Amino acid sequence: MRFSRLFLALSFILSAGACYNYSKFLGSERGMLARVSKANLKSEQKLDSLLASSVRLMNTALKPINPVKGGKLVAQYYNQNNAAMEAIILQANSEFSKMNLLDQGIFTANFIRKPYARQFADLYPKFKKKYNQIQAAAKFIAFFPKAFGKLGKLAELIG
């Protein structure tokens, strides 16, 4: 009896701690992406920040947690950061479309060589495979091919 109460209390504390860590994680990512989307930075720097945030999310969601809970985490991330993500992509698309073909090629080549682009390219297929069946994560999964597709099909190049 004593052990079952101890086990119950310990499991409650651990699950409450995990929820707190996820909400802390979501809050820090939301704040960072909001600041970056409104900052006067180059679109390349903004894309770096977006990819870094997405890599952190995918790493967190790929940890051995229940896919349904992970899907809810991904859905919360997307819902909280959708406006900032769209603003970053809108600026990048605008700058990209103003470039000539040579500059677009240089931008794409430089972008693909970035460490976060490589990490994203490694994680995205694993993430998509794990969460493709979870409807809560579907919007996040669909965002990147749509967004990078506008940048000269970058999703296909890095994926």
Tell me the per-residue pLDDT of 66-116, one tens digit each, with 9 for 90 and over: 788 888 899 999 999 999 999 999 888 888 889 888 888 888 888 888 888
Rounded distance between C-alpha atoms, residue 144 and residue 10, angstroms: 39
* In the chain, beta strands by DSSP E: none
Nearest alpha carbon to residue 78 among 92, 47, 57: 57
Q: What is the pLDDT of residue 109?
A: 84
pLDDT for res 155: 45
AA identity, residue 29: E
Task: Look at residue 43 and tell me whether its pLDDT is greater than 50.
Answer: yes
Q: How far apart are alpha carbons 48 and 50 in whole angstroms?
A: 5
Q: Check pLDDT > 50 for residue 58.
A: yes
Q: Label residue 57 by pLDDT band (50, 70, 90).
A: very high
State the average pLDDT for the chain: 79
Residue 127 clears pLDDT 50, i.e. is over it: yes
Task: Give the model's pLDDT for residue 18.
Answer: 46
Q: Which two tokens stand for residue 93?
A: 């698309």
Token pair 């390349």: residue: 44
Q: H/E element holding 17?
A: helix 2-38
- pLDDT band at 125; cut points 50, 70, 90: confident
